[in-house]
Structure 1
Amino acid sequence: MQFNQQLLVTYECINAIGTSLDMEHMLRNFLRVFARKSGAIASGFWRTNGENFELICSQGKRSLYSVIAPNAHNRSWDLHVKRNGEQVLYMYVGGGVMSFMFFLGEEELVAVEAILRSLHAKLDNAIRACTNHETLVKLNATLEEKVRVEVGRNREKDKHILQQSRLAQMGEMISMIAHQWRQPLGSISTVAASVKVKLALKKFNLETEDGRRGLEEYLLKSVGKIENYVKFLTATIDDFRNFFKPDKRRDQTTLHDLVERTLGIIGKALEVNGITLHKEERSSRLLSLHTNEVMQVILNLLKNAEDAMKERNPAQKIIWLRTYDTPDSTVLEIEDSAGGIEPVLIEKIFEPYFSTKEEKNGTGLGLYMSKTIIEDHAKGRLLVANTANGACFTIVFALQEEGENE
């Protein structure tokens, strides 16, 4: 084989190796070109598992594959070996072994051996690149599955923490129910006592038509009052019951409706604790939300503001509640007059199990779950900043494009 011909064979083989990351495709292409140019009658690429060799790719007569198979116990690979009269070349490359069989003269075999030596680095890099690519593809497939499993676990964990958060609020809810029910129950008691007194004192002369009519009107009016108070008590129970139901679907609602329903739960407690509520509602936009979950967030923020003012007892106990629309979002702000959050703590308050109320059995779950609900379920943002008055929590609901609703 002349030098120019040797260069041409080497060039064509290098082109055959190419840039493909599919190992079988790359090796088959190389072995086919090399066999055509060098006269190899059988060739293959083998990999070992430590005991036996596995044929990865081959070219030529199948009957000769067993003849050119490398020996697993022979670790000293020679490029030029004679076995049973055949001329076989072995080349350790890319973590495996390439083997070739020829019927060539000695001079031609030396030239072919030189070509293989010149191709060694190119082949080694190509094979290892294909191996790394295959490993990466498998890793990505495994990683996707691992990510899917971990996401599922995290969702279950968040559901568990959300339930913990709700259970932690139940004690506070009972206190709120007491505040909500105290006035209507007292009113029912007053109406019943008034009826008993009037009957005991015989305020109505039942022997006359006017007296009987007066008693009937009075009793109907009293029963009507009691019915209204009972309706209020029933509505309060329904609000609390619905509050603890997990949301399965989104509802079309406004911030005004959510705020009013939440104040129906906590409003009396704020009043009893001497807290003034200033509302500035300028949002009228319809939102698609899990209403019970967002109500839980609003309730938690209001309850935190109440607790902060009960603890610090500022001269004026005020909560400012503001809603407004922007071109690309709807915003709810809840600001208190309790003096704000210490700078060293403000970065940590959304972390799970971090609480500034440990002495009062704070769970550290409320704000973490509030942030999770707003970001994951409502696709919004929950932010906090100190103002001249105190802490201001801001919920930003991004406008959803059509088709985004769950």
Structure 2
Amino acid sequence: MESFTKLYREKLSVRIFVLSTIFIVFLCTTLFTFFIYNQMELLKKNIIREGTLLIELLAYNCRLGVFSESEKLLDASIEAVTKRKNVFFVSIYNAKGKLILKKFVNIGKLKIPEFNDNAQAVNEQFKKIQNKMLSYYLETDKDFEFWAPVYSSYNNPEGDTEPLSVFEADKTDVIIGYAHIRMWKNEFKNERLKLIYKSLSLGVIFLLIGLLAAYLVVRTITMPIKELTDNVRNYSNSGRIAVTQSHIRDEIFELAQAFNEMGKQVHDRTAELKAMVSTLQEEIELRIKSEEAVMELNRTLDDRVNTEINKQREQEKILIYQSRLSSMGEMLSSIAHHWRQPLNNLKALSLDLQDTYDYEELNKDYFYDNIKQSNEQLIYMSKTIDDFMDFFKPDKEKEQCDIVEVVEEAVSIVSPELKRNAISCNINRKVYSIASERLPTHTDSRLYADIYKNEFKQVIIILINNASDSIKEKARYSLETPYNGIIDIDFAKADGKAIVKISDNGKGIPDDIKHRVFEPYFTTKFKSQGTGIGLYMAKVIIENNLNGKIYAENTHNGASFTIELNCIETKTVT
């Protein structure tokens, strides 16, 4: 079994033959089963038709015998029926169900079958005949049973020669008796066995013919394929598939020709591939050399990248320091403005103290009051120095700060310079909360964020100085004298962001350079007035150090710079 299974898997011819055999067996079995069934039904119908004709003939012939209840006449009437070998019993009854004749015929050595012929069973048959007014039959395992009514007359206009099958009883016909015969099934069974044997014989013959045809078809198909397969296996030696005369003008010949054409194409393609392989080898060698150079470069790339990053960070620190130094002159000027009034006050107090002493009006209370006023002026001057020193100290760690307060501290540093140039700086301490699809709503006057405080102050001072320069530039060409410069600082909170917006009514930013305002060393001022690193440093501090965002845009009467930082809801108490 295993060898057959292996052969079935490996051989196409075996698979085709097995499948063809299965199909032929199935087809023959189906056809002959259908044939046997139809023939048996036809045989049974013939026997029933024969029995029906016999019982109707008996009913027609025994009218006089039934009417006269003469057994002699009835014997003559049933003589034609009893000649049939398969009829073994005949009985005739009058209209009241009285048995007139009962006779077994053609029994021979056969055993008389037992059947129910009591009065009740016979009366049931009579009722069926009376209801239908026609003959009918019953079938048992061993015989067929036929019943028919005996009419007083058969109203046949054509005479007695007309077939009984055209007779139809009407209300004028009277049933005077009943005819009954029983027929053996032996003949039916014998005929059925003969039919089965003949059918099986024909089936076997057709099956053998089908198997032979299948074998010839399989051999016709597979032998050329096997020969072609052997030629294909030898193709590598000869470079061509030989075609025999048996293949001329058939599919195998066309297949062989196709293989030959394919072989030629494969040969040409192989030559092309060899040339391509040679070219690829040269390219691979070049790539290997390039990769070696790249690998060598990668060995030192990390060090070079780290070096460049460190240089960039140092450069940013230098730029931040330069930015602070560039602002130092302005800071010193601002310190001078902060100190001018306290110094004047100190000078006035000292002169007043001297005059009081000269006029001998100096007393203890007046002396201490003068000292107190002088100390207040000195404390104010000391605080001013501390504020400027804090500004120039580098931040080490971020702090949670109120953005509004830090902005106010930055503005206080540059306020003297703004006053000197007649520029007013308006700080709107109200913080607005901006939600999607809603109008801004006032929340409170505090806005917290994690920042490097002094670096953020430096950004605010850079933006205020930039706004101041823009206002002064516009005032130079304005017809309005004096030109009232205005800087507005607003605060908002939206989507977890703390927003600071610094707007001015200066000359604005030209559209052709708006995209360059944050580039290093880019400035529209004279070299003596600016270095071009202020806005660049503001962008570096906000985006790199504080993880925020800064951008510029023009407004209807000037420009505005917007800072966005990550907001903290409440300050953490430490």
The interval holding the TM-score normalised by the smaller chain is 0.5 to 0.7
Contact 2:550 2:561 in 1 (8 A): yes
Structure 1, gaps ≥5 residues long: 1-116, 205-214, 402-406
- SS in structure 1 of the partner of residue 447 of structure 2: coil
Contact 1:236 1:264 in 2 (8 A): no
Determine which of 467, 470, 479 is the counterpart of 1:308.
470
- SS in structure 1 of the partner of residue 422 of structure 2: coil
Between the aligned partners of 1:178 and 1:310, the Cα distance in structure 2 is 21
2:485 equivalent to 1:327: no
After superposition, the Cα gap between the structure-2 partners of 1:360 and 1:312, relative to the gap in structure 1 and judged at 3 Å, is: farther
Correspondence for 1:294: 456
Structure 2, gaps ≥5 residues long: 1-273, 432-444, 570-574
After superposition, the Cα gap between the structure-2 partners of 1:327 and 1:133, relative to the gap in structure 1 and judged at 3 Å, is: same
Alignment of 1:343-382 (within 5 A): 343-358=511-526, 360-382=528-550
Tell me which amino acid in the other structure corresponds to 2:461: L
Correspondence for 1:226: 374
Q: CA deviation at 1:374?
A: 1.0
Alignment of 1:95-244 (within 5 A): 142-203=300-361, 215-244=363-392
Tell me which amino acid in the other structure corresponds to 2:500: L
Correspondence for 1:285: 447
Q: CA deviation at 1:330?
A: 0.8
Correspondence for 1:390: 558
Identity of aligned residues (%): 35
- SS in structure 2 of the partner of residue 357 of structure 1: coil
Aligned length: 278
Alignment of 1:37-52 (within 5 A): none
Q: CA deviation at 1:140?
A: 5.4
Between the aligned partners of 1:400 and 1:139, the Cα distance in structure 2 is 46
Contact 2:404 2:447 in 1 (8 A): no
Between the aligned partners of 1:388 and 1:248, the Cα distance in structure 2 is 40
Q: CA deviation at 1:194?
A: 2.5
Between the aligned partners of 1:255 and 1:375, the Cα distance in structure 2 is 16
Contact 1:179 1:268 in 2 (8 A): yes
Tell me which amino acid in the other structure corresponds to 2:391: F
Q: CA deviation at 1:202?
A: 4.0
Between the aligned partners of 2:391 and 2:530, the Cα distance in structure 1 is 21
Between the aligned partners of 2:364 and 2:340, the Cα distance in structure 1 is 28
Between the aligned partners of 1:223 and 1:346, the Cα distance in structure 2 is 56
Instruction: Normalising by structure 2, report the TM-score.
Output: 0.44
Between the aligned partners of 2:395 and 2:525, the Cα distance in structure 1 is 29
Contact 2:552 2:562 in 1 (8 A): yes
Correspondence for 1:265: 413
Between the aligned partners of 1:147 and 1:298, the Cα distance in structure 2 is 33
Instruction: Normalising by structure 1, report the TM-score.
Output: 0.60
RMSD of aligned C-alpha atoms? 3.3
Between the aligned partners of 2:473 and 2:366, the Cα distance in structure 1 is 47
Contact 2:449 2:566 in 1 (8 A): no
Q: CA deviation at 1:298?
A: 0.8
Larger Rg: 2
Between the aligned partners of 1:138 and 1:331, the Cα distance in structure 2 is 48
Correspondence for 1:43: none
Between the aligned partners of 1:365 and 1:277, the Cα distance in structure 2 is 24
Correspondence for 1:89: none
Between the aligned partners of 1:318 and 1:306, the Cα distance in structure 2 is 9
Contact 1:339 1:388 in 2 (8 A): no
Alignment of 1:64-79 (within 5 A): none
Contact 2:448 2:567 in 1 (8 A): no
- SS in structure 1 of the partner of residue 345 of structure 2: helix
